[in-house]
Amino acid sequence: MLSSWGGRVKMPTLLFCIMFFLTVSVSSASLKVGFYKYTCPSAETIVRKVVNKAVSRNPGMAAGLIRMHFHDCFVRGCDGSVLLDSTPGNPSEKENPANNPSLRGFEVIDAAKAEIEAQCPQTVSCADVLAFAARDSAYKVGGVNYAVPSGRRDGRVSLKDEPSLHLPPPFFNAKQLEDNFARKGLTLDEMVTLSGAHSIGVSHCSSFSNRLYSFNATHPQDPSMDPEFARYLKTKCPPPSNTGSDPTVALEVQTPNRLDNKYYKDLKNHRGLLTSDQTLFDSPSTARMVKNNARYGENWGNKFAAAMVRMGAIDVLTGTQGEIRKNCRVVN
């Protein structure tokens, strides 16, 4: 069996791969496309209608919903824990700096869930509503459509500190990103593919200002960044101060509201905004993947759809596990 780099895979690795894929398939097998076909046939239609309305009003909402699904799945699995509000003495995931104040779209999930509850009480989980909403966002702004296996149940626990343990920060390099995604059962290529979600949305200047003003002792500005791009960013992001101001910049400036493969073209031109973006082109293990995604946009879209399905199956609760929340913000 040949690896993607043309080397021969050793038998222990092959056995691990077989065991790994069997494990993943068991996890995915508990989810099913059309899970609500008989119990709530209008569920997906309702979510798509609500998402389309919200994204038409504010195109940036699509990025928010895709990011929220990612932040949900990487912390405790795709169980809707990111949607829970804090309770006295128990701050939730929402309060973590990775989510607060940047995570958005909660009101869209609330609106879809309320409409579903009116038709099918306590039938459709908040975790599934979020998975549908992420798919519908990708379709609305990028034409990326895919069937979402559903049947997730909602978790009852949400802890403020846990996102910091599981979500990759913007300063990670390619190896750290690879390890982070591998812990969730996702491959190196899936990591690079899912990073393409950064073709939409915005980032706070604080997430990359070190690349502009304090990169290292030798270079205040990151020498790997296109100088013209750096000059543009400095007009949007003044040097950090104690004023509390933290402006935002589009993650991909050419088509900031279109989910496409221009993100990868930017990386080739050294115009990746975050360290965790540009490292994908600067690292030998991922550079070829970036080039292929930049060249073959339709293929990237197909891979993105498949990777979203795989991500949506991480550590899901099914069957009698967890619950079906009535209100996505509170446990029953």
Signed CA dihedral, 136, 170, 206, 235: sign only: negative
Q: How many CA atoms are closer than 13 Å to the CA of 136, on its beta-carbon side? A: 25
Cβ neighbourhood burial of 301 (10 Å; 0-12, 13-18, 19+): buried
Residue pair 249/200 in contact by the 8 Å Cβ criterion: no
β-partners of residue 151 are none
For residue 59, give the 3-state DSSP assignment.
Answer: coil
The sign of the dihedral angle between the CA atoms of 291, 292, 296, 300 is negative
- Is cis: bond before 247, omega within 30 of 0? no
Q: Which residues contact 216 (CB under 8 A, 6 or more apart)?
A: none
**Residue written as token pair 């149940």:** 153
Number of Cβ within a 10 Å radius of residue 319: 8
Catalytic residues: 71
